[in-house]
């Protein structure tokens, strides 16, 4: 298999192959080696397949080159027979009522009758190629070639849960209500995504999928195999299993009096779920979050590496957070500096202090920056979701935004004592400079135009990403009319949509995107970008790594 390695920052590599079948085969081969945990595959934290690429993310920068060499060698030696592999032994049957609003349009596109469209959709087994834009969404490949149809000219603002659609060579099922432009041919009642199920996604890469016409009276699950709806019921844990075993009130906690504009619980995020449409998420300003942990005595072995054991903190956007202590707590404020008081007495920034039992901490509006972190010795001990306590604003996975009346339990303190009393922080410049390295599609655009002049952070910015307004970046002549299939993304990816205004993705970025990523911010620049407010002035510059 021919493969091309493309740069994607210091902790990821993008592997480009010939087509979807090649990407699926390489993804399955990589997955087997990652599961075996042998060197260097043990360092891989995420594998995200797409239409023509496979993205591999590693735990820390020092592992990237070894993983890149290993995946290149794997691609070179992968037997072409792997491309014909029908999928995993596990198969799922999805009963569908073919009542979709676009069934007649699909028939006209294909020159078939509606009944023939249904027979074509159900007669051929499909295979999960890769995950998509929403948790549990799977791009299904390998179906009847006669069903290749274009997306709708105008996407629907609302596609209902369970809608079954066609687009290009793919079929898929919408796991939750969302906008979408696929041609809808039917509906299914099968639950594709459930965070209380293990695994939460019913359709994993490599799984064989058979659609079944639910209106056929003679249909029944094959002997020895449950229908998908029965599999879901069997796999879903009971309510008692899915919640904490005890409801005993915590000895130490933070009581939320006022969450301010937006307050979230965040840690380092969740890895390994990109293939089913769930990004890592985690603290937007990773550096500020980690500094807060150090100040209250939590050791951080490698600030560049993912650590699922890292305790959670509170991320407050534009201040306004008011909390009351239950028990004596050691806390620290980092990130965007803001006026802060304990029962009216000012307290410092980037230095630990005691929040005594019953005392109230109140944050004002930051004087600079956007996000302030409240770290607590012991960490915020909310219930983990898929291995993390982080709130993901894009997928909706994780704890809900904080509201008045919430009680946040605080975990047991670590054995080590704090060794840092005060951490200096740099003053904010008028113009923020964001350093970046070339991305996988750097040749698609005029790179000099990317770094020319001042750009301004647009109002349409959040934890998903920031849009930089300014002189549009021009496409290279060779790619002026080209379209790019969706590819895996990382935090700091700089994507240039057709309008030419760059978008910088942050913690809650989508798993894949269909516009060229021409650059990737350094980790330090991602942290700085997370503190930018609408209207802030930004310069982009290239650096060598």
- What is the DSSP track for 346-409? E--SSS-EEE-TT-EEEE---SS-SEEEEEETT-B-PPPBTTB----TTT--SSPPP-TT-EEE
Query: For residue 423, what pLDDT is reported?
Result: 67
Specify whether the CB–CB gap between 49 and 18 falls below 8 A: no
Distances (CA, A) of 121 to 84, 88, 109, 185, 214: 20, 20, 15, 10, 13
Taking the C-alpha atoms of residue 59 and residue 269, their distance in angstroms, rounded to an integer, is: 12
Query: For residue 537, what pLDDT is reported?
Result: 95
- Domains in the chain, start-ordered, CATH in brackets? 4-84 (3.30.1360.40), 91-240 (2.40.100.10), 253-409 (no CATH), 431-542 (2.40.100.10)
Phi, psi of 518 (to 5 degrees): -95, -15
Specify whether the CB–CB gap between 473 and 443 falls below 8 A: no
For residue 263 the two structure tokens come to: 């307050």
Q: Count CB neighbours of 371 within 10 A.
A: 27
Query: For residue 222, what pLDDT is reported?
Result: 43
Specify whether the CB–CB gap between 205 and 128 falls below 8 A: yes
Taking the C-alpha atoms of residue 342 and residue 249, their distance in angstroms, rounded to an integer, is: 24
Distances (CA, A) of 355 to 305, 319, 376: 30, 18, 10
- What is the DSSP track for 149-214? BPPPSS-EEEE-TTEEEEEBTEEEE-SS-EEE-SEEEEE-----B-TTSSSSBSS-TT-EEEEEET
Distance of CA 296 to the CA centre of its chain: 28
H or E stretch including 256?
A: strand 253-258
For residue 502 the two structure tokens come to: 């760059």
Query: For residue 131, what pLDDT is reported?
Result: 84
Taking the C-alpha atoms of residue 168 and residue 322, their distance in angstroms, rounded to an integer, is: 51
Residues in the chain predicted with pLDDT less than 70, given as ranges, are: 80-89, 217-247, 301-308, 420-430, 545
Residue length of the chain: 545
Taking the C-alpha atoms of residue 103 and residue 113, their distance in angstroms, rounded to an integer, is: 9
What b-and-e string marks burial along 385-401, b requiring 16 or more CB atoms within 10 Å of the CB?
A: bbebbbbbbbbebbbee
Minimal CA–CA distance to 307: which of 274, 357, 271? 271
Q: In what order do the strands lie in the sheet with 183-187?
A: 91-96, 208-213, 126-131, 138-141, 170-173, 163-167, 183-187
Minimal CA–CA distance to 136: which of 249, 232, 33, 260? 232
Cis ω on the peptide bond leading into residue 40 (within 30° of 0)? yes
Query: For residue 301, what pLDDT is reported?
Result: 62
Q: Count CB neighbours of 82 within 10 A.
A: 15
């Amino acid at each position: 298999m021919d493969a091309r390695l493309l740069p994607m920052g210091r902790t990821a590599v993008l592997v480009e192959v010939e087509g979807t079948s090649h990407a699926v085969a390489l993804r399955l081969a990589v997955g087997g080696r990652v599961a075996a945990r042998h060197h260097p595959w043990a360092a891989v934290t995420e594998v995200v397949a797409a239409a023509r690429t496979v993205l591999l993310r590693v735990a820390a920068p020092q592992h990237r080159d070894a993983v890149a060499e290993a995946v290149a060698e794997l691609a070179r030696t992968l037997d072409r027979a792997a491309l014909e592999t029908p999928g995993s032994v596990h198969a799922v049957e999805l009963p569908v009522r073919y009542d979709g609003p676009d069934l007649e349009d699909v028939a006209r596109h294909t020159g078939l009758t509606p009944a023939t469209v249904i027979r074509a959709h159900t007669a051929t087994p499909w295979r999960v190629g890769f995950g998509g834009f929403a948790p549990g969404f799977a791009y299904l490949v390998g179906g009847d070639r006669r069903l290749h149809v274009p997306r709708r000219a105008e996407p629907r603002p609302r596609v209902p849960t369970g809608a079954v659609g066609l687009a290009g060579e793919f079929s898929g099922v919408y796991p939750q209500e969302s906008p979408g432009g696929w041609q809808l041919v039917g509906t299914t009642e099968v639950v594709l995504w459930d965070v209380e199920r293990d695994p939460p996604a019913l359709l994993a890469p490599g799984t064989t999928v058979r659609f079944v016409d639910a209106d056929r009276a003679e249909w029944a699950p094959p002997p020895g195999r449950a229908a998908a709806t029965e599999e879901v019921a069997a796999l879903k844990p009971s309510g008692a299993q899915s919640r904490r075993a005890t409801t005993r009130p915590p000895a130490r906690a933070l009581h939320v009096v006022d969450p301010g504009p937006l307050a979230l619980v965040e840690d380092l995020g969740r890895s390994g779920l990109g293939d089913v449409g769930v990004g890592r998420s985690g603290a937007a300003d990773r550096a500020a979050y980690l500094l807060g942990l150090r100040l209250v005595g939590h050791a951080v072995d490698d600030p560049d590496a993912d650590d699922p054991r890292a305790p959670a903190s509170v991320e407050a956007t534009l201040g306004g957070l008011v909390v009351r202590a239950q028990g004596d707590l050691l806390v620290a404020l980092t990130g965007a500096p803001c006026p802060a008081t304990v029962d009216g007495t000012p307290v410092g920034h980037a230095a630990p202090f005691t929040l005594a039992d019953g005392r109230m901490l109140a944050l004002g509006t930051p004087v600079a920056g956007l996000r302030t972190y409240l770290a607590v010795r012991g960490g915020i001990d909310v219930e983990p979701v898929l291995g993390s306590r982080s709130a993901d604003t894009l997928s909706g996975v994780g704890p809900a935004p904080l509201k008045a009346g919430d009680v946040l339990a605080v975990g047991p303190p670590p054995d080590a004592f704090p060794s840092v009393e005060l951490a200096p922080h740099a003053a904010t410049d008028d113009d923020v400079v964001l350093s970046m390295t070339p991305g996988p599609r750097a040749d698609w655009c005029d790179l000099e135009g990317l770094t020319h002049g001042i750009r301004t952070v647009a109002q349409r910015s959040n934890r998903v990403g920031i849009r930089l307004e300014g002189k549009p970046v021009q496409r290279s002549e060779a790619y002026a009319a080209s379209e790019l299939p969706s590819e895996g993304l990382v935090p700091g990816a700089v994507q240039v949509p057709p309008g030419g205004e760059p978008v910088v993705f942050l913690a809650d970025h989508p798993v894949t995107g269909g516009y060229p990523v021409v650059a990737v911010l350094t980790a330090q620049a991602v942290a700085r970008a997370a503190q930018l407010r609408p209207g802030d002035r930004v310069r982009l510059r290239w650096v060598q790594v």
